[in-house]
Chains A and B, each alone.
Chain A
Amino acid sequence: MKVIKIEKSDLAAGLDKLRGGYRLFGPVKDKTSHGFQELAAGQAPDLAFQNTRLSPKNLVFPQSETLLAYSLDGNDPEGHIAREVDKDYSPRAVIGIRPCDAKALTLVKMNFDTDAFKDPYWLNLYNASTFVGLACDAPGGTCFCTTTGSGPFHEEGLDVLLVDQHDHFLAKVLTDKGEKLMTAAGFNQSADGDAAVEKAKTAAEAAITTAIVTDSLAAADPMALYNADIWEDIAFACINCGTCTFSCPTCWCFDIQDEAQGNKGVRMRNWDSCMFPLFTMHTTGHNPRDTKVKRTRQRFMHKLKYFVDKYNAGIMCVGCGRCVRQCPVNIDIRKVSALMNNVGDAAKCAV
């Protein structure tokens, strides 16, 4: 695998060269926290961050997105007929995404890219993007990526992995897309960096000291987990605020709403959350998940059991730790998983 050396002093100039062929996105500090946004001309990504407060899922799955548009004019021969809207799917480069968040997008892709249906909005943005990852040298105290099937130097979902070497980056070029981007940026100084990258990787993985225990989840009887007596305690403090789902890089649930003013309207989708009662409320008023206990259980069962059973690709969590840090009542997915795992130990599937 090709490794390229990029002097930090050359990074901004290289990124500027990309602008002819790519829209650039990267972490930017806004008051107290970092978030991914489009980089204006001359604006460099701020790579001095641990991770962004919200995940970068909005880059391929905007919080609000127009799906279709229509005229409501009765005299318009196209009136009341929904049509696709023009979208910019020109190449994009995402600079500085953390490996956990890139891995998260590969998990979410399983939902939007199926045999039966393809979500064109998600997939077009994903496919238009080249992901330049930034390896984590100093993981946070709530990071547990190494026990989720991800890691601080995990390469899945990335086209290039940047490894910080003080005055320069070592760039592992992982895909053709990544190769193309490096060429376009004029980064071509080959380096013999494998040993340095491995050393940094080993150190970073050792710096992650907390874990999520999931070994008994796959074999557990789903109904035994569902009916376990752990959920009242887990959900006791939950206020169903939805912070966990909105900050989570693997949460993808959405709502579809029409918005119309005068003779024009759009159908759009907006992030939604299983924490909200309206998410499942029937028109009759009947609500299958009518209590916060049921909604809290749904979130953890989806991430740690239903997804595991459905895709056989591990848990729907990459260990970024955002929900752990940002939950206002300190609900911790690691503790929940441990409780579920205990139930799983006692209730293995008969099959």
Chain B
Amino acid sequence: MENPYLPYPVRIDDIIVESEDRSLKTFKFVFLDPDDEARFAYKAGQFAELSIAGVGEIPIGIASSPVEKGFIKFTVNKAGVVTTHLHNMKVGDIMGVRGPLGNWYPWEMLEGKNVLIVGGGFAFTTLRSSIIYMLDPANRSKFKDITVVYGARTPGMLLYKDELIEWEKRDDINVHITVDGTDDPDWKYNVGFVPPITEQKAPQGDADSYAIVCGPPIMIKFTQPVLETLGYDHDHIILSLENRMKCGIGMCGRCGIGRELVCKDGPVFTLAEVNQTPREY
């Protein structure tokens, strides 16, 4: 019997400080046993438990993309016991990764459709995974228009800045970067909260269009009416939920929203599905 609690041993291969306040770091892991990479085959939107012996585990969305090989990446906000410990680890340290866990964005359903991605703050990790996946030469033709609205408090708090700037220049994806505010006179992108920028920049919704929304609760709350006005039905609005988790495999019971478990039945739900559950997340 395979043991779903047993993490794959990994080595920290690289650590990138993502944000000016140093609260966000991206950890790149390589598997100690190269065969584990195939066992860890994942899809964009899934998460994993990062596992540190003697400290504990945390569920974190996978920021690398299935089309990137040889490593996996996670961007982690320093917040609690395990994430703080992880932030203090160094390249070469050994830890574990358990997964992939949960469901993923509905890629088969999204094929042939327009995809709008709306992200805020550091909830951009599985969205990065998704964008890299869709822009891969083998995949780009499967999707119609791809639009991204991504915002953070300040320019220094944006994740994956180099990639954002590169995407912004491309003509096969419409990227709208925004910040809540900045005193940088050279800032050449948008200034404003994500919901109004979405209202200005996002294409109209229709039967062939889906929106994937990830961000802080306040952003989701004010983005929902914007998307409704744009014509996105609730079953065309896709959310990725977070909840406190332990097992990640649907057994320990704490992440339930009604009969659904965020870790196993989610984390990806349509707004129409979430409307049918007690919103206990």
Do residues A112 and B251 form an inter-chain contact, with CB atoms below 8 A?
Answer: yes
Provide a sorted-by-A list of 11 A–B residue pairs whose CB atoms are within 8 angstroms. A70-B53, A82-B7, A84-B6, A112-B251, A116-B249, A119-B251, A120-B1, A254-B247, A274-B253, A280-B255, A302-B253
Do residues A111 and B7 form an inter-chain contact, with CB atoms below 8 A?
Answer: no
Instruction: Compute how far the CA of A124 lies from the CA of B1 in the bound complex, rounded to whole angstroms.
Output: 9
Nearest 9 A/B pairs, CB to CB: A253-B253, A283-B80, A260-B54, A306-B259, A288-B280, A70-B53, A80-B94, A117-B249, A265-B54
B244 within 8 A of A: yes
| Nearest A-chain residue to B2, judged by Cβ | A118
Chain A binding surface, main DSSP class: mixed
Instruction: Compute how far the CA of A286 lies from the CA of B278 in the bound complex, rounded to whole angstroms.
Output: 16
Question: Which one of B6, B56, B258 lies within 8 Å of A226 (CB-CB)?
Answer: B258
Do residues A256 and B246 form an inter-chain contact, with CB atoms below 8 A?
Answer: yes
Which residues, 257 to 273 on A, are CB-close (under 8 Å) to B? 257-258, 260, 265, 267, 269, 272
Chain B binding surface, main DSSP class: loop
| Nearest B-chain residue to A259, judged by Cβ | B54
Chain B residues with Cβ under 8 A from A328's Cβ? none
Which residues, 235 to 259 on B, are CB-close (under 8 Å) to A? 242-244, 246-247, 249-259
Additional A-B contacts beyond A258-B55, A260-B54, A283-B80 (19; CB < 8 A): A67-B5, A68-B5, A81-B32, A82-B51, A116-B249, A118-B2, A119-B251, A253-B254, A254-B247, A258-B56, A272-B253, A280-B243, A282-B242, A283-B79, A288-B280, A298-B256, A301-B278, A302-B256, A306-B258
* Residues of A participating in the B interface, judged by any CB pair closer than 8 Å: 67-68, 70, 72, 79-84, 111-112, 114, 116-120, 123-124, 222-223, 226, 252-258, 260, 265, 267, 269, 272, 274, 279-284, 288-289, 294, 298, 301-302, 305-307, 309-310
Instruction: Compute how far the CA of A282 lies from the CA of B58 in the bound complex, rounded to whole angstroms.
Output: 11
Chain A residues with Cβ under 8 A from B256's Cβ? 298, 302, 306
B189 within 8 A of A: no
B18 within 8 A of A: no
With A70-B53, A288-B280, A294-B280: A272-B94 Cβ-Cβ less than 8 Å: no
Chain A residues with Cβ under 8 A from B2's Cβ? 118, 120
Chain B residues with Cβ under 8 A from A281's Cβ? 244
B88 within 8 A of A: no
Question: Which one of B7, B79, B95, B253 lies within 8 Å of A252 (CB-CB)?
Answer: B253
Map CB proximity to A onto B32-69 as digits: 1 under 8 Å, 0 otherwise. 10000000000000000001111111000000000000
Chain B residues with Cβ under 8 A from A256's Cβ? 5, 56-57, 246-247, 252
Chain A nearest CB from B244 CB (Å) reads: 5
Do residues A84 and B3 form an inter-chain contact, with CB atoms below 8 A?
Answer: yes
Do residues A284 and B7 form an inter-chain contact, with CB atoms below 8 A?
Answer: no
Chain B nearest CB from A45 CB (Å) reads: 30
Do residues B80 and A123 form an inter-chain contact, with CB atoms below 8 A?
Answer: no
Instruction: Compute how far the CA of A282 lies from the CA of B241 in the bound complex, rounded to whole angstroms.
Output: 13
With A120-B1, A288-B280, A310-B259: A114-B53 Cβ-Cβ less than 8 Å: no
B200 within 8 A of A: no
Do residues B252 and A80 form an inter-chain contact, with CB atoms below 8 A?
Answer: no
Do residues A258 and B4 form an inter-chain contact, with CB atoms below 8 A?
Answer: no
| Nearest A-chain residue to B89, judged by Cβ | A80
Do residues B254 and A279 form an inter-chain contact, with CB atoms below 8 A?
Answer: yes
Do residues B252 and A265 form an inter-chain contact, with CB atoms below 8 A?
Answer: no
Chain B residues with Cβ under 8 A from A260's Cβ? 53-54
Do residues B280 and A118 form an inter-chain contact, with CB atoms below 8 A?
Answer: no
| Nearest A-chain residue to B252, judged by Cβ | A254
Which residues, 82 to 99 on B, are CB-close (under 8 Å) to A? 83, 93-96
